[in-house]
Structure 1
Amino acid sequence: MSDQSILRITREIKQIQQGTDLSIAVACQDSDIRNINTLIIGPPDSPYQFGFFEFEIKFGKDYPANPPSVQAITTNGGKCRFNPNIYSNGKVCLSILGTWRGERGEEWSSAQGLESILISIQSLLSSNPYENEPGYENAKGSSDKKNMASYVAKIRHETLRIAVIQPLEKSLGIRPDGVVIPPAKDYTEDDEDGFWLEDEKSAFNPFADLRKRRFLWYFESYIQTIDSAEQGSSRRPKFDRMPFESTGNTMDGHFDYPELKRRLIFVRETIINETKNWAMEGLSCKERELGIAVNIQRQYEQIVEDLKRLKNFTVDLALADNNPFVWELTYFGRPMTQLDGGIFKAKIHLSPRFPDEQPRVFMQTPLFHFRVSKTGVLCYFPQKPEEMRSHIEAIVTALEEENPAYDPRLTVNPEASKMFWGSADDRKQYNRALRRSVERSSE
């Protein structure tokens, strides 16, 4: 591969990593930039909603004269076809990739690039994926409509099972019997229960932390999806097979939403426990005077010094039990805002692997807010993830936002979001609920 190709791939990866699209992530190992992993988060209001769909992309020596090859990874080990154009063997059928016949002008050109490919794949994850099947335009009968509804229903179920729960269980070390294997221990062969856990030191799993953080954000949406789907349905009906599905390239299985809910709740509990364990790991790092502990302690001290120097009375910071890996933030509502008079406390949990693992923030004071989940998880997005100063600024910005643009990927309280972006009366209800939170916070 020429130096020009390498430079172009590097530039395209960097542009996406520094971009503002919360639905796409890319990563590669430094040793081989031609092979990258990408994660596409399923679009809101689709059966793929907030699922984590991973793809491998390999650039050939002739890139960009020809497109790279793309392989879907989220296939349940080659047993699940997630779309008419995303096969169970991982093949992605798109004209831009040269894997599907397309109209003139839809083929690959060197003017296109990695972002074009990811957007094209993302477009397949639509609200009605049945329309991706050739001949859909002629589907008008009642049986066709039934197939469309059945297809959407089983994709919604398998998105939760395969694209949300399974990869998180794997990275958390949750076995099928519900036992959690301590992540500090290396398991490189089958244990007696038949569960395979890859050696954490050698496995390339660049999206593990992203999945965990987003899972905490979207947990209420996942539960809401299950509760809605469960209404009027029996426990274990089989999936309907679609006309275009053939042996070895299907989405077969059965519905079992109660089991999905159980697993979702257990995944959440495991992530919370992992977060709490960071404090113990952090104290160990502090006692051994490791660089990460010194670095985080210094960042804390610099931020506190700056708050005092700037006479910022909105934010107060302290360390829980003198542990640099657990920050206690107190936010005092600014005058003349909806939070005026409120006193809100939050805990910021930092990982000893910061910034590879990002902080997790939990509100200790109840707050009815579209950026705060019912369980207190705060959704925020720092401009510079490697700097704690940027995290503090982003936390305050998230709390103070009064008229943000609607983005379902950044709203983690479905009830509050529906009110905030609903009718004028809905907004009034939201404001009243928020003010009640403010009044109670200072009692």
Structure 2
Amino acid sequence: MADQSVFRITKELSDLQKNSDLSLAVACRDIDVRNVKALIIGPHETPYEFGFFEVFAASHRDHDERGPLQIQPQHLCQWQSLLSLMSANPYENEPGFEDANEPSDKKHQKEYVQKIRHETLRISVIQRLEEYLKIGPDGAVVAPTATKDEYDLDMNTIEDESSAPFEPFKDLCKRRFLWYYDSYLAAIQKGKEEVKDGQSFARMPFEGSSNTMEGKFNYSELERRLRNIKKTLDEETESWAAEGLEAKAKETTVAVNLQRQFEQIVESFKRSDVPHNLELLDGNPFVWILTYFGKPMTNLDGGLFRIRLCFSPRFPEEQPRIRFETRMFHHRIAADGTPCYVAPANRREDVKTHIEAVIEALEEEHPPYDPRTLVHPEAFKLYWGSPEDRRMYNRRLRRSVQQSME
């Protein structure tokens, strides 16, 4: 029975990983399917928008170690149904308030949305990223305060990965933060227009002494912390170059692998007559510079764009961070140049697939509407707006293409 349960869980997990979209990611430590984690990305146009919500399913046995293995939720795919609960009006999901239509209910609904939006940003985004980056609310690096016993434990288990914290979504959250940074700022601006800093959260009728969300709005503070996170992330990316040179000098496996991949991709460009140019910055295999030539007969025709690919010495566990150094007005490129693209999950270590995915996102002629790719709010709104909006989008894109050649 235990083997059948493990087989079922393994199959469901494999299917989820293959078919997971931009709203859901799942992971377990190596082959240990008894402890599975999932990350849900809050839906667009809800107070949970682009928040990072982690859930897990811990297995147990009914009676003893010989009993059948159980895991909750009963079916891992139920995680996806949690997204439906993250609605634009979460007040109506609360027990007893399915038919809230009184004027007071309307007021409570608005106040509840304001409260959830604030706390989604504060807890699921800002606090999570600060913990990942080991910085405090003031942006300063938080020094570790391990006791002697904790230090001894670390030394004794340094080679035992199973004893290390299992944080499978750390890199994903960092990269998604860069995608959604401008949307977070927009949410903060909206919050500032609706409430004042220092204003207390309104208490909802269904909140009791053991179930309450108390606090005060402080969007100015959230904005400051958000900008500190962005600054720290950019600094972390820049630090990879120096770490990479050290790794190159030591001829680490990652350094040798990246050097080999670079040479192979350059050769593949030559064989396929791809006009793009690829070079290493100062001979560093951890910093690649790609010169992208716009596709003929499209709005990108004639464009010349410089793209930087930065690699971590811990690649592929930490995925590359890519940025357009040449400004481009495009609905799949954030204002700071971060492209929104998805590389195949089973080829994360293949740099060529990342390059191809970026170019595909740029050149896709008829992309499906997907708010999870909203990385440039202004461009996204124009692209998916009225016919006149789309014409304005095309004009601005063409203008950025022309400026790329100046």
Once the two structures are superposed, residues 75-111 of structure 1 have per-residue CA deviations (whole angstroms, 9 ceiling, x without a partner) of: xxxxxxxxxxxxxxxxxxxxxx6xxxxxxxxxxxxxx
The letter for the 1-side match of 2:377 is P
Q: Verify: 1:228 aligned to 2:190, yes or no.
A: yes
Q: Distance in 2 between matches of 1:209 and 1:120?
A: 25
Q: Which structure 2 residue ranges, 5 or more long, are not aligned?
A: 63-67, 149-157
Which residue is equivalent to 1:49?
Answer: 49
1:7-406 aligned at under 5 Å gives the runs: 7-30=7-30, 32-61=32-61, 68-69=71-72, 113-115=75-77, 117-181=78-142, 187-189=145-147, 202-313=164-275, 315-383=276-344, 384-406=347-369
Q: Distance in 1 between matches of 2:91 and 2:390?
A: 36
Alpha-carbon deviation of 1:61?
A: 3.7
The letter for the 2-side match of 1:235 is D
Q: Distance in 1 between matches of 2:104 and 2:69?
A: 41
Aligned match of 1:413 in 376, 382, 387? Answer: 376
Q: Which has the higher helix share?
A: 2
CA contact (8 A) 2:280 2:289 kept: yes
Q: Distance in 2 between matches of 1:17 and 1:330?
A: 33
Which residue is equivalent to 1:105?
Answer: none
Which residue is equivalent to 2:65?
Answer: none
Q: Distance in 1 between matches of 2:221 and 2:250?
A: 43
Q: Distance in 2 between matches of 1:24 and 1:256?
A: 29
Q: Distance in 2 between matches of 1:3 and 1:335?
A: 56
Q: Distance in 1 between matches of 2:239 and 2:322?
A: 14
Aligned residues: 389
Describe the SS at the equivalent of 2:300.
coil
CA contact (8 A) 2:39 2:169 kept: yes
Once the two structures are superposed, residues 240-273 of structure 1 have per-residue CA deviations (whole angstroms, 9 ceiling, x without a partner) of: 1111111232211110000000000000000000
Q: Distance in 2 between matches of 1:307 and 1:189?
A: 53
Once the two structures are superposed, residues 162-219 of structure 1 have per-residue CA deviations (whole angstroms, 9 ceiling, x without a partner) of: 000001100101023431248xxx65349xxxxxxxx998221111100000000000
Q: Distance in 2 between matches of 1:378 and 1:294?
A: 26
The letter for the 2-side match of 1:401 is E
Which residue is equivalent to 2:154?
Answer: none
Q: Distance in 2 between matches of 1:222 and 1:120?
A: 24
Which residue is equivalent to 1:93?
Answer: none
Structure 1's consecutive aligned runs of 4 or more residues displaced over 3 angstroms after TM superposition are 65-69
Q: Which structure 1 residue ranges, 5 or more long, are not aligned?
A: 70-96, 98-111, 191-198
Once the two structures are superposed, residues 267-321 of structure 1 have per-residue CA deviations (whole angstroms, 9 ceiling, x without a partner) of: 00000000001111111110001111001110111111111011111x2110001
Alpha-carbon deviation of 1:24?
A: 0.7
Alpha-carbon deviation of 1:33?
A: 1.8
Q: Distance in 2 between matches of 1:233 and 1:137?
A: 26
Once the two structures are superposed, residues 303-347 of structure 1 have per-residue CA deviations (whole angstroms, 9 ceiling, x without a partner) of: 11111011111x211000100010101001121011001101110
Describe the SS at the equivalent of 1:33.
strand
Describe the SS at the equivalent of 2:32.
coil
Once the two structures are superposed, residues 20-71 of structure 1 have per-residue CA deviations (whole angstroms, 9 ceiling, x without a partner) of: 4111111112363211111101001100000000112113446xx99734xx
The letter for the 1-side match of 2:195 is S
Identify the range of structure 1 (146-155 vs 131-140) with the bigger mean alpha-carbon deviation: 131-140
Once the two structures are superposed, residues 133-164 of structure 1 have per-residue CA deviations (whole angstroms, 9 ceiling, x without a partner) of: 22223321111111111111100000000000
Q: Verify: 1:2 aligned to 2:2, yes or no.
A: yes
The letter for the 2-side match of 1:254 is K
Q: Distance in 1 between matches of 2:389 and 2:31?
A: 53
Q: Distance in 1 between matches of 2:32 and 2:164?
A: 15
The letter for the 1-side match of 2:272 is L
Percent sequence identity is 52
Q: Distance in 1 between matches of 2:3 and 2:194?
A: 59
CA contact (8 A) 2:24 2:40 kept: yes
Distance verdict in 2 for CA 1:285–1:433, change over 3 Å: same
Q: Distance in 1 between matches of 2:70 and 2:88?
A: 27
The letter for the 1-side match of 2:124 is A
The letter for the 1-side match of 2:264 is Q
Q: Distance in 2 between matches of 1:22 and 1:317?
A: 29
Alpha-carbon deviation of 1:388?
A: 0.5
The letter for the 1-side match of 2:353 is S
CA contact (8 A) 2:171 2:319 kept: yes
